[in-house]
Amino acid sequence: MVFTDTHTHLYLDEFSNDIDIVIENAFFNNVKRLFFPAINSKYSSSMFNLQKKYPENIFLMSGLHPCYVGKDFSDEISLVQNILKNNHIVAIGEIGIDLYWDKSNLSMQTKAFEMQIEIANNNHLPIVIHCRESFDEIYNVLINNKPLNGGVFHCFSGDLEQANKIIELDMKLGIGGVVTFKNGKIDKFLNQIDIKNIVLETDSPYLSPAPLRGKRNQSANIKIIAEKLCDIYNLSLNEIAKITTHNSKEVFKV
């Protein structure tokens, strides 16, 4: 049985004191494929160092997170492209629009998002989307700048109509801790979505699943999320692992 965590930030400072223990704990819980989305260039070295240490288990993305889009975003996106030239990168992400923290720079966020979709298309890569209070804005960008190689709508927490719109764009839904939340809502309709459209993620160190909310999340907690999907889809844990890992392979080609 092999689980895949398609979205985990194990390279962040929150894991600096015990990263090897965290990774070994993931392996112990059969979470043996770890995908690292980028935030900005500050963390590139940490990402590459971990990937070199666990080359069979860690897969890297390149991208500029919308919360880090500033006046110098063109320089950061140039670095995204440079990373692609000399490294094995499996996706462009995480990219998108975030209107929870800052609505004033929507035009810059949109431009950075569009530029990175173009990079992904030019390099035959999928994208991983960050969306917070910005579904309509992101959907409009995707309609006008269609990702040609699919991808993942990270941390999906929308409604059934939004889910179907994403799937129609050949994107998969990243399902994480939200599915276990009492007021997360997505567990009420997820069984209406074919499981072939779902991948698992933790977004570690954020969004710990119940009953661990408020604690540092880690990739081993994929098992808790998977157990919730067992109830939703009436499938065994082994079946959830097999299907969702297969789905991740369809997206990332590894």
How many domains are contained in the chain? 1
Long-range CB pairs of 53-60, under 8 A, 24+ apart, other chains included = 54/23, 57/23, 57/27, 57/32, 57/33, 58/34, 59/33, 59/34, 59/35, 59/90, 59/252, 59/254, 60/35, 60/36, 60/87, 60/88, 60/89, 60/90
Residue-number span of the structural domain to which 232 is assigned:
3-252
Q: Which pLDDT belongs to residue 103? A: 87
pLDDT (mean) for 88-110: 94
At residue 157 the predicted structure's pLDDT band, cuts being 50, 70 and 90, is: very high
Instruction: Report whether pLDDT(38) > 90.
Output: yes
- Phi and psi at 191, nearest 5°, equal -70, -10
Question: Running DSSP on this structure, what letter comes out for residue 28?
Answer: H
User: What's the pLDDT at 102?
Assistant: 84
- The pLDDT assigned to 184 comes to 87
CA 227 to chain centre: 19
CATH number, residue 32: 3.20.20.140
Q: pLDDT per residue over 21-35, tens digit each?
A: 999 999 999 999 999
Q: What are phi and psi of 18, to 5 degrees?
A: -145, 30
Examine the pLDDT at 213 and tell me if it is beyond 90. Answer: yes
DSSP code, position 59: E
According to DSSP H, which parts of the chain are helical?
19-28, 44-53, 73-86, 106-122, 135-144, 160-168, 222-233, 237-252
Q: Tell whether the model's pLDDT for residue 84 goes beyond 90.
A: yes
